[in-house]
Chain A
Amino acid sequence: MTEAAPVPVVTVSNLIKQFGRFAALRGVTAEFSGGKLYAILGDNGAGKTTLLRTLAGLNQPSSGEILILGTNKFHDICQYVGYMAHPSLLYDEMSGMENLEYFARLYGIASSTRCAQVIRSVGLDPDLDRPVGQYSQGMRQRMSLARALLNDPRILLLDEPFSNVDLHSATEMVRLLVRTRDQGKTLFIVTHQASLLEGAADEFVWMESGKIVGRTRELKRPESAR
């Protein structure tokens, strides 16, 4: 008996995203299975962030289609998606806990226990009273990751989660992300620090000029991407 092919959690068909006359995505077509960690790599301007923002529902495709968990209606599945952007998406004047308590309400999470739990999971102290504006860049990144994890998403979209994070903390973050993947979640991580994900990522997705030009199991730029 042949093994059934895994059902894709994300299907992208001929996705084009234009900003005025500039095409940031030029016909991206791909399928991504569940329970995997995908590292999306490429030079600046390759379209990685645009792809992630489009998957998050923040950019509308100019043409083409995205199916997430079988639907193209983002509003139906947004409670299953977590998104971490390059900026922190946090209020500088509030503490980490206050920020998370507010965002938790948007997802219908009323308990502070969950907020404290995710803050601890990224290695921060939920009782830290300082406003986020006074955090170091690394702490802010980790708090931003905590916000993305808050709703226990099935799909996690992370844009440059390791930027400005020291090596020790970044390694800890990778361990947390691997644990999250092992719980059956699907992760898409845009990063320029690909070496951190060597051995952790299931697949490296290489982008260039708004297209996916290769997918590899190892951290090795494919011939097509050169």
Chain B
Amino acid sequence: MSAPTGITRATLLKDLRLEWRSKDAINSMLFFSLLVVVVFSFSFDPSAEESRQIAGGLIWVAFLFAAVVALNQTWAREIRNQVLDAYRVSPAPANSLFIAKTLGNFIFVSVLEALMTPLFVVFYRLRALGPVWQLLLVAALGTWALVVNGTFFAAMSLRTRSREIMLPLLLFPISIPALLAMVQSTTAILNGEGARFWIVLLASYDLVFTTVCLLLFETVLNAE
């Protein structure tokens, strides 16, 4: 049998290849985020100071909603033609699939963030007063928090009739602590204040939920 890392790599490459060919997730996410940026920029006309206060919330809520699109797509591919059954009957470990899916979603959402952040900066005239590297750290930790839970709950809602609605219902409440930490740390860094507490909280959240998801994923995958 292949080493779990080999299976994770093969599954990740397969997902990237499928997304590259269909562009289902990335196009939907980009379109949604673009709408949020444009609509909000027309709705408000904040000063540079006000922008720094609201941008953290605005950015992360936009990315959270957009990420749900990618998260639903990632499992929809496995349901079509019941391909997931082919994985389930193989000796490949369940967690290799989970890690590959989470990494794939992390890449998709990171690409979205990389493309959308400059637009946020331009539309809201943002200029960080704190260190930018901390923003990058918050982005990485925050994105992981969204996708690790999102991938898990998307798998859980896979067999439900209205999974597109089920995923946000499960994901949003459990993401509140992470979202709070993401928004507060981003706002603090933009305003040149200390964000250490929120970053540590976010890192702890990631650690706890990644562990829990890894422990439970096999049960979720094989649930009938």
| A6 at the binding interface (Cβ < 8 Å) | no
A22 to chain B, nearest CB (A): 13
Q: Give the interface centre of B2, B81, B87, B222 by most chain A CB atoms within 10 Å.
A: B81
User: Which of B15-23, B32-40, B58-66, B200-208 sits within the interface?
Assistant: B15-23
Give residues of chain B (1-18) contacting chain A, Cβ–Cβ below 8 Å. Answer: 1-2, 6-7, 10-11, 14, 17-18
B90 touches A85 (CB 8 A): no
Cβ–Cβ < 8 Å partners of A81 in chain B:
89
Cross-chain contact B87 with A106 (CB below 8 angstroms): yes
Task: Check A147 for interface membership: any CB of B closer than 8 A.
Answer: yes
| B81:A90 contact, CB within 8 angstroms | yes
Smallest CB separation, A157 vs chain B (Å): 9
Chain B residues whose C-beta falls within 8 Å of the C-beta of A88 in the assembled complex = 81
Bound Cα distance from A98 to B92, whole angstroms? 18
Chain A window 77-93, contacts with chain B (Cβ cutoff 8 Å), 1 for yes, 0 for no: 01101010101111111
B residues 50-103 in Cβ contact with A at 8 Å:
77, 80-83, 85-92
A89 touches B2 (CB 8 A): no
Q: Give the contacts of A30-64 with B (CB-CB under 8 A).
A: 56-60
Q: Does A176 contact B (CB under 8 A)?
A: no
Q: Which chain A residue lies CB-closest to B86?
A: A89
Interface residues on B, range: 20 to 34
Residue of A nearest to B19 (CB): A93
A78, B89: Cβ atoms closer than 8 Å: yes
Nearest to B223 among chain A residues (CB) is A60
Do B85 and A89 touch (CB < 8 A)? Answer: yes
Tell me the residues in window 196-224 of chain B with beta carbons closer than 8 Å to chain A beta carbons. Answer: 222, 224
Closest CB in chain A relative to B162 CB, distance in Å: 19
A-B contact count (CB 8 A): 75
Given the known inter-chain contacts A107-B1, A108-B1, please indicate yes or no for A75 contacting B80, CB distance below 8 A: no
| CA–CA, A105 and B82, complex, Å | 19
Q: State in angstroms the CA–CA spacing of A83 and B1 once bound together.
A: 18
On whether the beta carbons of B21 and A103 are closer than 8 Å, the reply is no
Whole-angstrom CA separation of A106 from B6 in the bound complex = 9
Interface size class of A (residues with CB under 8 A): 20 to 34
CB distance from A137 to the nearest CB of B (A): 12
Contact A83 B81 (CB under 8 A): no
Q: Does A94 contact B (CB under 8 A)?
A: yes
Name which residue of chain B comes closest to A76, CB basis: B91
- Within 8 Å by CB of A91, from B1, B2, B77, lies B77
Q: Given A57-B88, A79-B1, A110-B2, do A91 and B18 touch, yes or no (CB 8 Å)?
A: yes
Which of chain B's residues has its CB closest to A82's CB?
B89
- In contact, B21 and A93 (Cβ under 8 angstroms): yes
Q: Min CB distance, A104 to chain B, in Å?
A: 9
- Complexed CA–CA distance, A108 and B14 (Å): 16
Q: Which of A60, A102, A110, A151 is in CB contact (< 8 Å) with B224?
A: A60
CB neighbours (8 Å) of B14 from chain A are 91, 94, 102
Given contacts A93-B21, A105-B7, A106-B91, contact A59 B81 (CB under 8 A): no
Q: Which residues of A contact B92 (CB under 8 A)?
A: 106-107
Interface residues of B (CB under 8 A from A): 1-2, 6-7, 10-11, 14, 17-18, 21-22, 77, 80-83, 85-92, 222, 224
A-B interface, 8 closest residue pairs, ranked by CB to CB distance from nearest: A105-B10, A106-B90, A89-B86, A106-B92, A108-B1, A108-B2, A87-B82, A83-B89
Question: What 4 additional pairs, Cβ within 8 angstroms, besides A58-B85, A79-B91, A87-B81?
Answer: A88-B81, A93-B22, A105-B2, A107-B1
